[in-house]
């Protein structure tokens, strides 16, 4: 029998999905599990968004439609990026995709030749290295270390640039650390990109989930308009994970390549959901800011409580909805600890190595869950912590 393509041996899955599968198995055996593993808001779109979807269906908007997205939505996204990020992009620079992840995949496919080096954050979203490998590229991690408050270190990145480096992936606010890159960091990364003729893939999927200050896109720095692709979507900021709606904002010269890949894969994004997305962007009821206020409450409670668990140490994230907890002082590995938490305590979270080798001593918890659930999760972990109390380093 013919073997699979060789890329299948180098691509990797996602730890979150594996933990979720085991958690569901335990639940089917009658166990109570608190799900803090998936990166999914526990909110749903506001009623006007669902109404807009139904209206679009009633109006027969269920056909093949424009490859890059319906003009009304591309106009709305351009306006939204202007209003929320101060960007001046043309609707013609926007290509819709079924999810931010596919937008990322196809942007990388459009740009990566075998042997091209791709700089990406470690820990980071697992797709960055997996997709690079699948395309024959060379993933080159740069570390987000606790010492540096999980900010990228431009000096480290500069030292890793070679004549084969083509892409620098940034992700602010970042998964899994919640770091918002400082203005100085972004400025220096932009300067490196100009100096070495790099393309920046700026994953801005968490741009609206920010606990202080205003979001600044990598595209706003000098020289960045012609070399930045923004990857974003509706999954996190509008609680629309299952709708599969994402988009790329690209320099005009790259847009035809993205459209070509869309033609060769998904043809277009579901027409009716695009009309509903326009309503989500309008957000007259302020659903997104209200969701962020609620996440902020949970963030404050959860980070405070996690730091009470012996051997756990966690900085408050500035964005996204993850607690990135250093667990090295428990004397256990993140894998052992995650297993005990899931199997004995009924709390599902992800060992940090799922986000890259630099995540080895960490565990990621999502706090997109009710304050009652988060409180109960900490109580359960505290009870289970007897298993590592004797080995924990006391500070």
Ligand X SMILES: Cc1ncc(COP(=O)(O)O)c(C=O)c1O
Residues near ligand X (CB under 6 A): 39, 99-101, 125, 171, 175, 203, 205, 233, 235, 241, 246
Specify whether the CB–CB gap between 150 and 174 falls below 8 A: yes
Shortest distance, CB of residue 203 to ligand X, whole angstroms?
A: 5
Shortest distance, CB of residue 174 to ligand X, whole angstroms?
A: 7
Shortest distance, CB of residue 344 to ligand X, whole angstroms?
A: 27
To which H or E segment does residue 203 belong? strand 199-203
The rounded distance, in Å, linking the Cα atoms of 360 and 328 is: 9
Across-strand partners of 118? 139, 167
To which H or E segment does residue 75 belong? helix 71-85
Query: In this structure, what are the phi and psi dihedrals at residue 258, rounded to the nearest 5 degrees?
Result: -65, -40
Q: Which is nearer to ligand X, 101 or 227 (CB)?
A: 101
Q: Which is nearer to ligand X, 223 or 242 (CB)?
A: 242
The 10 Å Cβ neighbour count of residue 310 is 19
Shortest distance, CB of residue 130 to ligand X, whole angstroms?
A: 12
Q: Which is nearer to ligand X, 126 or 346 (CB)?
A: 126
Shortest distance, CB of residue 371 to ligand X, whole angstroms?
A: 22
Measured between alpha carbons, how far is residue 289 from residues 84, 121, 206, 374, 386 in Å? 12, 28, 13, 21, 39
Estimate to the nearest angstrom the gap between the alpha carbon of 332 and the chain centroid: 27
Q: Which is nearer to ligand X, 346 or 351 (CB)?
A: 351
Q: Which is nearer to ligand X, 100 or 354 (CB)?
A: 100
Tokens at residue 317, please?
Answer: 């994230």
DSSP-derived secondary structure for 206-269: TTT-BSSS----GGGSTT-TTTEEEEEESTTTTS-GGG--EEEE--TTTHHHHHHHHHTTT-S-
Shortest distance, CB of residue 13 to ligand X, whole angstroms?
A: 13
Shortest distance, CB of residue 57 to ligand X, whole angstroms?
A: 22
Within 13 Å and on the Cβ side, how many CA atoms surround 224? 26
DSSP-derived secondary structure for 131-196: HHHHTT-EEEEEE--GGGTT---HHHHHHH--TTEEEEEEESSPTTT-----HHHHHHHHHHHHHH
Q: SS3 of 19, please?
A: helix
Q: Which is nearer to ligand X, 245 or 340 (CB)?
A: 245
Shortest distance, CB of residue 389 to ligand X, whole angstroms?
A: 33
Shortest distance, CB of residue 205 to ligand X, whole angstroms?
A: 4
Torsion over CA: 61, 67, 69, 75 (sign): negative
The rounded distance, in Å, linking the Cα atoms of 270 and 259 is: 15
């Amino acid at each position: 029998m013919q073997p699979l393509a060789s890329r299948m041996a180098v691509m990797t899955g996602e730890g979150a999905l594996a933990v979720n599968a085991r958690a569901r198995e335990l639940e089917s055996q009658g166990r109570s599990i608190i799900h803090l593993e998936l990166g999914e808001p526990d909110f749903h779109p506001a009623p006007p968004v669902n109404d807009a979807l139904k209206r679009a269906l009633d109006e027969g908007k269920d056909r093949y439609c424009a490859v890059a997205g319906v003009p009304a939505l591309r106009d709305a996204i351009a306006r939204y990026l202007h209003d929320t990020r101060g960007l001046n992009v043309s609707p013609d620079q926007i290509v819709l995709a079924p999810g931010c992840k596919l937008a990322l995949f196809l942007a990388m496919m459009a740009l990566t030749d075998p042997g091209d080096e791709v700089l990406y954050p470690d820990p980071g979203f697992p797709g960055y290295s997996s997709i690079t490998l699948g395309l024959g590229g060379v993933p080159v991690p740069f570390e987000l270390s606790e010492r540096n408050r999980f900010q990228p270190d431009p000096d480290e990145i500069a030292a890793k640039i070679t004549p084969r480096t083509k892409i620098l992936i940034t992700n602010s606010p970042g998964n899994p650390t919640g770091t918002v890159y400082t203005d100085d960091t972004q400025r220096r990364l932009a300067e490196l990109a100009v100096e070495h003729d790099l393309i920046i893939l700026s994953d801005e999927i968490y741009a609206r989930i920010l606990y202080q200050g205003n979001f600044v896109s990598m595209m706003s720095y000098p020289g960045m308009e012609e070399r930045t692709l923004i990857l974003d979507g509706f999954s996190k900021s509008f609680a629309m994970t299952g709708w599969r709606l994402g988009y790329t904002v690209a320099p005009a010269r790259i847009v035809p390549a993205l459209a070509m890949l869309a033609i060769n894969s998904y043809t277009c994004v579901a027409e009716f959901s695009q009309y509903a997305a326009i309503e989500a962007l309008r957000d007259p009821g302020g659903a997104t800011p209200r969701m962020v206020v609620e996440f902020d409450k949970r963030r404050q409670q959860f980070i405070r409580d996690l730091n009470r668990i012996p051997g756990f140490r966690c900085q408050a994230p500035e964005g996204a909805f993850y607690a990135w907890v250093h667990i090295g002082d428990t004397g256990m590995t993140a894998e052992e600890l995650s297993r005990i938490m899931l199997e004995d305590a009924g709390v599902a979270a992800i060992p940090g190595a799922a986000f890259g080798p630099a995540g080895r001593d960490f565990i990621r918890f999502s706090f997109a869950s009710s304050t009652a659930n988060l409180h109960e999760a900490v109580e359960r972990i505290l009870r289970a912590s007897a298993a590592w109390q004797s080995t924990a380093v006391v500070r």
